[in-house]
Amino acid sequence: MTPAPELIEPAFEFCFELRVDVADAIPVGGSDEGEGLHFAGINGGAFEGPRLRGRILPGGGDWWHGRGLTVRLDARYVIEAELPGGAGRAAIDVVNRGTWRTEPESFERMLAGEPVGERELYYRTAFVFQTEHPQLQWLAESQFVGYARPEPGRVVIRVFRLV
């Protein structure tokens, strides 16, 4: 019998935190109460962390489909990164898909305007980044996941690279 190959434990590197300013969601189908398809435009924002910093360009948006207390997310937008060493800026296409779900108690607290943390929400996303800039190819050549949380008028996502 051939010995099993050594397996690695998953590890993650924190890269940056996105602070995405979003417009109020509008129903595209379904209802205002969260059922069906909705769209929230992206108004801008910023991101910063040990690997990258910059701004989120206005435009793009987040399409989401809700059923009960579970939502499927599909966002697409462009960020502009500051290049290392002050060498200018470069655009990066972002595709971010994920799932948001919570328990009725946490949802009621959210509706009341109380903060609900990452441990109380399952708000997880997976990123695909595209850019032609050679200094940023590590974004296009790696897998990324995000832990998200809502804040008034924005979504905050901590972005981790799977190493």
The pLDDT tens digits for 42-52 are 999 999 999 99
- Domain-embedded: residue 19: no
- Domain-embedded: residue 17: no
Alpha carbon distances (Å) from 68 to 22, 32, 33, 109, 112: 22, 13, 9, 16, 18
Q: Is the pLDDT of residue 41 over 90?
A: yes
Q: How many domains does the chain have?
A: 1
**pTM score:** 0.90
The single-letter DSSP state of residue 3 is P
CA-to-CA distance for 148 and 156, rounded, in angstroms? 6
- Domain-embedded: residue 101: yes
User: Is residue 98 classed as helix, strand or coil in its secondary structure?
Assistant: strand
Query: What domain range is 34 assigned to?
Result: 25-162
Give the pLDDT score at 33: 66
Domain with 44 in it: what CATH number? 2.40.160.20
- Domain-embedded: residue 5: no
